[in-house]
Structure 1
Amino acid sequence: MPKPYASVVIDAPVDDVWTWVRAFGGIAEWHPALDSCVLQEGDDHTVGSVRRLTSGDAVFVERLTALDDAARTQTYEFLESPFPVRDYRATIRVAPVTSSGATFVEWWADYEADETETGWLTPFFRDQVFAAGLAELGAHVTRPH
């Protein structure tokens, strides 16, 4: 099973970063590839909530499947996606860097797809979704609001 993965260190306190990541309906505020995010069911902090994301003409519908404030993890799955994937489940984890006061964030997914598709899907998810999103999350969290 392919497992795209990206991580970043953000020069901000862990609670500040977790506040932005934890808001399930707020991802479009910091992810550069997203035009909008609307909660269709539930709210930002309830497992089972469903969000609808748009990126250009692409539409994604995702369900929050796990939220753990103690471990600072959020897991979601695709309900609808333009990508040729099955059983897509992604997790974002936020952790303190105790030596510096910064925050370590990692984002990964597990999914199934035809072998001919994983050659482009895995680097796409890693670079265009996770790494690009984490870079902008860092910039977003550290700029004044």
Structure 2
Amino acid sequence: MPQRLLLAAAALVLPLAGLLFAQWPLRDWLQAYSRQANDLGQVLFALYIAVAVTAASEAGAHLAAARQRLSPRAAAIAVLACTGPWALYLLVITAQPVWQSLRTLEKFPETLDPGYFLVRIALWLLAALVLLQALRRAMRHG
């Protein structure tokens, strides 16, 4: 996985934490903007998780049980067999809704704030990264 993508995703943690922390004071004291903070927090969280799952796998912290009990080749094939069909299914089944969301720049339903399309894109990014990583690992060890 490109190092720049990992660094960009890691940089989302601090603003995400700030937004989560700010929701209560915004709602209770200012009585405004807490929903907008929540919407932006959802976007940042979705993008962060889309990259974090693959980064954890790259670091050996995710799906570690398969690696400990199996040879590297068997573990790579097992990971591809487990995650590949799910990721491919997700990419296919969500392609049209994600494309539609992107074309219309879909908004959050409750607040009508822009950005919900980014949550949908993050789902697609997650599935694509998982599939690409599993394929790359299987080819490397296969």
TMscore range, shorter length: 0.3 to 0.5
Structure with the largest fraction of helix: 2
Structure with the largest fraction of strand: 1
Q: Scaled by the length of structure 1, what TM-score is found?
A: 0.32
Q: Which has the larger radius of gyration?
A: 2
Q: Scaled by the length of structure 2, what TM-score is found?
A: 0.33
